[in-house]
Amino acid sequence: MDKEKMIEELNNQILKCTRCPLYKFKTNYVPGDGNPNSKILFIGEAPGREEDKQGKPFVGRAGQVLTENIKNILNMDRKDVYITNVVKCRPPENREPEEEEIKACSIWLEKQLEIIQPDIIVTLGHYSTKWIFDYFKLKFSSITKLRGKIFKVNKWGKNITIIPTLHPASTLYHKEWREYFDQDFKTIKEILNKDKREGILKFI
């Protein structure tokens, strides 16, 4: 079965999820969006107000920042990458997701990873970085220490690159952090270019 079909079937399961109480407060489930065949996966924290309204990740103000960098720095469209969150339902009043909610929701991100098997994982902010570091048994310290660094793991019979960066919402509250966020996207771009060059070399 192809990845699109598998993601569609997975989304149908997510849309019925009652594994934690967050489903009672949400308007829409926000499973994920984009191209499941993409080499690159972005992971955020949890849907906000606009995401909850539209059922799509990163479509509010923070989403604008993310979409801008995907377009302007990576020269890609957001429909060319896959975007999801650790938690698929909006926590009330945009509070941070609780440990029990993350634990209950983790099954969905695990299944998304197994289907997409991305080459590059970009974690946006504390929660997704912590989640991915736990998943790959890497030592988590803090997002400010880890951001912009490159981590390599072996999974699905290939080398995977993990790049933690800041949460795009944080660049709205701390304008000076936008520069770090942009820098990290330039690092992602370099990795994409390098992969492309090595991919071409394989066929020469």
Q: Which is nearer to ligand URA, 40 or 169 (CB)?
A: 169
List the one residue out of 160, 164, 162 whose CA is nearest residue 181. Answer: 164
Q: How far is the CB of 34 from ligand URA (least distance, A)?
A: 12
Closest to ligand URA by CB, 62 vs 89, is: 62
Q: Which of 146, 111, 153, 113 is nearest to 127 (CA)?
A: 146
Give the shortest CB-70-to-ligand URA separation in angstroms.
14
Hey, what are 113's tokens?
């990873």
| Inter-helix orientation angle 99-116/3-14, to 10° | 160
User: Helix and strand tally (H, E) in the chain?
Assistant: 8, 6
Contact, 51 vs 29, CB < 8 A?
no
Q: Residue with CB nearest ligand URA?
A: 44
- CB nearer ligand URA, residue 131 or residue 151: 131
Q: How far is the CB of 88 from ligand URA (least distance, A)?
A: 10
Shortest distance, CB of residue 116 to ligand URA, whole angstroms? 17
Burial 52-68 (b: 16+ CB within 10 A, else e): bebbbbbbbebbebbbe
Instruction: Report the residue number, 87 or 115, with the smaller CB distance to ligand URA.
Output: 87
Cβ contact 111:10 at 8 Å: yes
Distance in Å, CB of 159 to ligand URA, minimum: 27
Minimum CB–partner distance for residue 46 and ligand URA (Å): 6
Note whether 23 and 89 are within 8 A (CB): yes
- Cα separation, 179 vs 100, whole angstroms: 34
Judged by CB, which is closer to ligand URA: 34, or 47?
47
Cβ closest to ligand URA, residue 19 vs residue 55: 55
Binding site for ligand URA (CB under 6 A): 44-48, 51, 57-58, 60, 62-63, 85, 169
